[in-house]
Structure 1
Amino acid sequence: MYRHGLRKRVAIAFALCVAVLSVAWGFAFFAGIKLTEDHVLQRQLEHAARSYPSLTTNLSGYDKVEHLPESLRQWAQTNPGPGLYELDTQELHVAVLFTDNKQSRAFVVFDVAGIEAESSEDWWWLLIISGAVGTLGILGFGLGVVVMRRAVAPVAELAKVVADIDLEHLSAADHKRIEASRFGDDEVGILAGAIEKTLERISAFVARERHFTDAASHELRTPVTVITGALELLEQSNLSAADQKVVDRVRRATLDMKTTIEMFLCLARETDDGLYDETFSVMPLISQAIDQQRHLLNGKFIDVEIDLIDIEIDDRAKPVACGHPQAFSIAVNNLVRNAFENTPDGQGPITIHIKEHELFVTNQVRGDADDKHTPTQETPHGYGLGLGIVQRLCERYGWHFSLHTDEARVAARLLWR
């Protein structure tokens, strides 16, 4: 479609624009010279016609200073050198030259009275010339825009095609919309080919990712489901206290494994089938996380305090968040588990502050901490692997996570809108 490379097309367009403008300016100057010449001859003829029938000449020759007109004698006595002189006040043009013996000078006087244009006419000529220059400038600008637009047309076309592709929701056929072959083998064609191949690889990667997560979701959840079913059957039998403790440990490990599988699958998916905008209640997920992780406090004398700030007791469904409820549950579980695991025996309480758009989980690591202390310093780094995953989940779903640590306390903050 395009026979020349982009740089060559731009160079040709620039050369063409310069050539056309040069020709236009050349014709304009030539026309100006011819028009001026004709105008001068016409003025001279009109001046001669006004003195008809006694025709006078405008040119006069003088070989001595004393023969010059009286208005020129004083000027000639200053011994001007050979050359051409214009005396505006007398409306005269004078040529000074040496005679053959180079000892004396001769004068040729041209009387331009009645021939040169009046001042008013000069302004009209200036206006006409300015209009012509402005017109040529506008035509040149328009020509440059048209020529350069045609020269960079393939770049603009490629940009439009790429802009029409929804990069957030790539389909398997999006790379075919580029059609790099229509751009030829120049710089734009190479760029189009690279974009096409990149989109093709991304589309293939997304397809493989979806296939993998679907397969992994099935293959990983199946043994967890089998273990859960076996535990339910064991619970129906008469177990000793020791066996019951073992079953409880297996159940908790299975639950942790299920949560981990869901968490990593959630992070691995490129899309979540439109669950980003789901609105869900926060309190049930927080209560579920506390119940699931409470076994970590077994044998520890630690209280868990839940503080609802600006939330009515009978309106527990009021705090709501928008996004992925499963991801939110994973984040809260990690925050609660981190607090329960890292609080030493007797170094309570663990406080959970819940606001309309905010969750604070605070646990002590030393006994001399002030219970009313509010963290003021934020750090983006996680406190262990679990909180690092929370950070990734929050970045993925548009929430904000921060962590404050000091010698006495760890405070995690989760903010949603």
Structure 2
Amino acid sequence: MLLSAVLALALMGGFFTLFSYDLEDTLFNRLVAAEAERQLEGHAAELPTGMSTHRGHAALPPALARKLSPSLSRGEYEVATDGAGHFHVAVRPDARGGEPLYVAFRVDAFTSTTGQLGRNAWLMLVSAALALLAATGIAVVVARRVSRPLEQLAAALGEDAPGAEEDEGSVQELGTLRAALRERDARIQRLLERERQFNRDVSHELRTPLAVAQGAVELLERAPPRDAAAFARLRNAVLQMGLLTEGILWLARTPRAGERCELGAVSHEVVALYDGLRQPSVSVVVEAEGPVEAPVSAAVARVLLGNLVKNAFGYTRTGSVQVHVAPGLWRISDTGEGLGNVAPEHAGFGVGLSLVQRLAQRLGWSVTFTPLQPQGTRVELRWA
């Protein structure tokens, strides 16, 4: 609004200045035109101060003669001479072919626009300052009027008080918007609670058959069956289902304060757990920069790290898998197929990696997937 006020003042000042000059020129032109008509009609009278008549171009003062062409047509002309003054001249050619009539009016003593602009510049500046001050006041009032209902809306939503009464001066549309936002928030909360309840129900229902399957695997480990490969696949599948169930169940509950675990030990544990998925030609290295504690329980850490280790073992045919643990960082790098190069039937993150992303988001951690050259993938988990 201040910029608009400045622009409006500049435009108005320019308009009135041009209007003043144009008005003066119009008045002077009409004066010389009226006198020229009286001279042509033979009603000569005493000429006004500063006005003179001339018959023929040669009779003009030298300063005017140099500025006016002898072949000028009928009309009124403004002439600024070099040091001889400022003139308005009416030209009336003789209809019978004689010398044209010139009526010249020196207007230096009668022009006032330029002088007034100079003398009254301070008045224009004061007027502009007062106008800007008024515009500032209006801007402040309008801004408060517009922002106050929005601030009230934000405060009401922040207080989480659906039954709060609206101010009498509040805008009705904002009240409608506030009600719509609260209804939307309530609907989102219902959907979230429904999802959490579903996750809890599914996880609890899965725990019983998983416990039975894990017990059966432990019994079979005492007397391993002849088909060792099939038994290894069964054991890994049961373990993976257990990790997924724990992760889903953890998402459905509120985290406990003060939970911590040592990631180096968890890394060795999950590497040993999924070692059966590793190809014989793939080497694995776990490096830790001393004991590294992370603000998460060991069960959740097994879900996070286990899914990433399982994924690296599953997609790496040759080369190596490296796990690096440092304060605030857990990183796994492999020489597998890499992101974007997985066969179509195996494409996609799957439930495991999707669960990793959701768990990291819930913990406030960041997770990044970076393709390596010529192939491979690096995954990093970071926390504060």
Taking structure 2 as the reference length, the TM-score comes to 0.55
The one-letter code sitting in structure 2 at the alignment partner of 1:379 is L
Deviation at 1:330, TM superposition (A): 1.6
Cα pair 1:58 1:112 within 8 Å, conserved: no
**How many residues in Structure 1 have an aligned counterpart in Structure 2?**
333
Matches within 5 A, 1:262-281: 262-266=246-250, 269=252, 272-273=254-255, 279-281=260-262
2:380 is the alignment partner of 1:415: yes
Distance between the aligned counterparts of 1:64 and 1:342, measured in 2? 109
Cα pair 1:401 1:412 within 8 Å, conserved: yes
Matches within 5 A, 1:17-416: 25=12, 29=16, 33=20, 57-60=48-51, 62=53, 64-65=55-56, 71=62, 78=70, 80-85=72-77, 86-88=79-81, 89-91=83-85, 92-97=87-92, 105-112=100-107, 114-116=109-111, 121=115, 124=118, 127=121, 131=125, 138=132, 142=136, 149=143, 153=146, 158=150, 161=153, 173=160, 183-184=171-172, 195-221=181-207, 224=210, 227=212, 241=223, 255-266=239-250, 269=252, 272-273=254-255, 279-293=260-274, 296=276, 307-309=285-287, 311=289, 315=290, 318-322=291-295, 325-337=298-310, 353-356=323-326, 357-360=329-332, 375=335, 378-379=338-339, 388-396=350-358, 397=360, 398-401=366-369, 413-416=378-381
Q: 1:63 to 1:261 in 2, by over 3 A?
A: closer
The one-letter code sitting in structure 1 at the alignment partner of 2:70 is T
Cα pair 2:371 2:378 within 8 Å, conserved: yes
Distance between the aligned counterparts of 2:57 and 2:132, measured in 1? 57
Distance between the aligned counterparts of 2:370 and 2:331, measured in 1? 11
- Give the match's secondary structure for 1:379: coil
Question: What is the CA deviation profile of residues 103-122 of structure 1, one whole-angstrom value per residue up to 9, with x for unaligned ones?
Answer: 66444333435444698x47
Cα pair 1:336 1:361 within 8 Å, conserved: no
Cα pair 2:262 2:292 within 8 Å, conserved: yes
Distance between the aligned counterparts of 2:279 and 2:55, measured in 1? 132
Of all paired residues, the percent bearing the same amino acid is 18
Distance between the aligned counterparts of 1:73 and 1:230, measured in 2? 121
Deviation at 1:329, TM superposition (A): 0.9
Cα pair 2:20 2:113 within 8 Å, conserved: no
Q: Which runs of 5+ in 2 are unaligned?
A: 28-45, 361-365
Q: 1:66 to 1:212 in 2, by over 3 A?
A: closer
Question: What is the CA deviation profile of residues 65-109 of structure 1, one whole-angstrom value per residue up to 9, with x for unaligned ones?
Answer: 499575579568925433223353433433233679786644433
The one-letter code sitting in structure 2 at the alignment partner of 1:90 is A
Distance between the aligned counterparts of 1:209 and 1:111, measured in 2? 94
Aligned residue number for residue 48 of structure 1: none
The one-letter code sitting in structure 2 at the alignment partner of 1:330 is V
- Give the match's secondary structure for 1:416: strand
Deviation at 1:327, TM superposition (A): 3.8
Distance between the aligned counterparts of 1:107 and 1:183, measured in 2? 71
Distance between the aligned counterparts of 1:338 and 1:376, measured in 2? 10
The one-letter code sitting in structure 1 at the alignment partner of 2:339 is T
Deviation at 1:259, TM superposition (A): 2.2
Q: 1:93 to 1:230 in 2, by over 3 A?
A: closer
Q: 1:102 to 1:198 in 2, by over 3 A?
A: farther
Cα pair 1:376 1:404 within 8 Å, conserved: no
- Give the match's secondary structure for 1:399: strand
- Give the match's secondary structure for 2:88: strand
Distance between the aligned counterparts of 2:274 and 2:57, measured in 1? 126
Cα pair 1:65 1:77 within 8 Å, conserved: no
Q: 1:265 to 1:178 in 2, by over 3 A?
A: farther
The one-letter code sitting in structure 1 at the alignment partner of 2:91 is V
Q: Which runs of 5+ in 1 are unaligned?
A: 1-12, 41-54, 363-374
The one-letter code sitting in structure 2 at the alignment partner of 1:205 is L
Deviation at 1:282, TM superposition (A): 1.1
